[in-house]
Amino acid sequence: MFQNRGAHADVSTSGTFSGELPVTTLTVGGASAPRRIAVRIREGEGPPVVWLGGFRSDMRATKAAALDAWAAERGRRMVRFDYSGHGESDGRFEDGTISDWLADAATVIERYADERPILVGSSMGGWIACLVARERARRGQSLGGMVLIAPALDFTEELMWASFPLEIRQTLERDGVWYRPTDYAPKPDPIRMALIEDGRHHLLLGEALEPGCPVHILQGMADPDVPYGHALRILERLPGSGSMLTLIKDGDHRLSRPQDIALLVRSVEAMA
């Protein structure tokens, strides 16, 4: 069961980028290891929409910005944030774990979007969203729904460790880190053994998923990072009622083309 590990709110507001909402900072973690999380809040009506970004992504990315534009146009409340070590939040990316990023998300939701939020999780954010949903369901706190984009549940084990050849596993076990080339950033991703080991405490695909809310998955069939078969496994574990999967045959992992963004906005609007 997820523990919020002494997370507390210490709210302040910093300057803005041109055309951006102001950044609010929220301190997460105990006194021995506090970390400041950057949050942007768009005031509005209706159930709050919360953006949960992907691995090494941030709240200013294309899909997050498009949803924020939709929220502004519709007068809807929306919350975006960066996990520790991501975007405008404090910390080093390579020091983060699923436990840390889950604590970041749970604290932001509890502080700014606690009333039947609609979680929109992209890639790793889909895993974080499902972990948040499971814990809230255990406490009797419902969600308004979830829209998951190429959800990478259990990715540290299923999509990393299980696919790594022996030499990469040996490098991780010996050095504690392996630098993985990526098409999404100019520098390789530092993958730490600590991330793999921590991820094993949060695996979901070995049992039924009971999020306690409707779920709509959007998945590209040309996704090289999260195969669409992974989305089918997730769907199989979700309840028969209220669970939906939309496959985009030529869609990649980003799903950031205009037609993909339009589908995402329609899906969130329908859920909201």
Residue 83 lies in a domain: yes
216 and 145 in contact (C-beta within 8 Å)?
yes
Task: Look up the CATH number of the domain holding residue 68.
Answer: 3.40.50.1820
Number of domains in the chain: 1
* Residue 224: band (very low, low, confident or very high) from pLDDT cuts 50, 70, 90: very high
Residue 73 lies in a domain: yes
**Residue 90, domain extent:** 12-154+208-271
Residue 203 lies in a domain: no
Q: Tell me, what's the pLDDT at 2?
A: 32
* Residue 20: band (very low, low, confident or very high) from pLDDT cuts 50, 70, 90: confident
Return the closest-CA partner of residue 255 out of 238, 268, 271, 243.
268
Span of 13-27, 36-50, 168-182 with lowest mean pLDDT: 13-27
Question: pLDDT tens digits for 123-177?
Answer: 999 999 999 999 999 999 989 999 999 999 999 999 999 999 999 999 999 999 9
Residue 56 lies in a domain: yes
Mean pLDDT of 218-240: 97
Question: pLDDT tens digits for 58-67?
Answer: 999 999 999 9
Residue 62 lies in a domain: yes
Residue 261 lies in a domain: yes
Residue 140 lies in a domain: yes
Residue 163 lies in a domain: no
Q: Tell me, what's the pLDDT at 29?
A: 83
Q: Tell me, what's the pLDDT at 19?
A: 56
DSSP string, the chain: ----TT-----EE----TTPPPPEEEEES-TTS-EEEEEEEE--EEEEEEEE--TT--TTSHHHHHHHHHHHHHTEEEEEE--TTSTTSSS-GGG--HHHHHHHHHHHHHHH--SS-EEEEETHHHHHHHHHHHHHHHTT---SEEEEES--TTHIIIIIGGG--HHHHHHHHHHSEEEE--SSSSS-EEEEHHHHHHHTTS--TTS----SS-EEEEEETT-SSS-HHHHHHHHHHS-SSSEEEEEETT--SS--SHHHHHHHHHHHHHH-
The proportion of the chain whose per-residue pLDDT surpasses 90, expressed as a percent, equals 86
Mean pLDDT of 245-257: 97
- CA-CA distances (angstroms) from residue 214 to 114, 127, 149? 17, 16, 14
Return the closest-CA partner of residue 235 out of 253, 217, 260.
217
Average pLDDT of the chain, as a whole number? 91
Q: 112 vs 5, which has greater pLDDT?
A: 112
Question: pLDDT tens digits for 65-90?
Answer: 999 999 999 999 999 999 999 999 99
| Other C-beta atoms lying within 10 Å of the C-beta of residue 31 | 8
pLDDT at 247 over 50: yes
pLDDT at 185 over 90: no
**Integer Cα distance of 102 and 115 in angstroms:** 18
Q: Tell me, what's the pLDDT at 18?
A: 37
pLDDT at 7 over 90: no
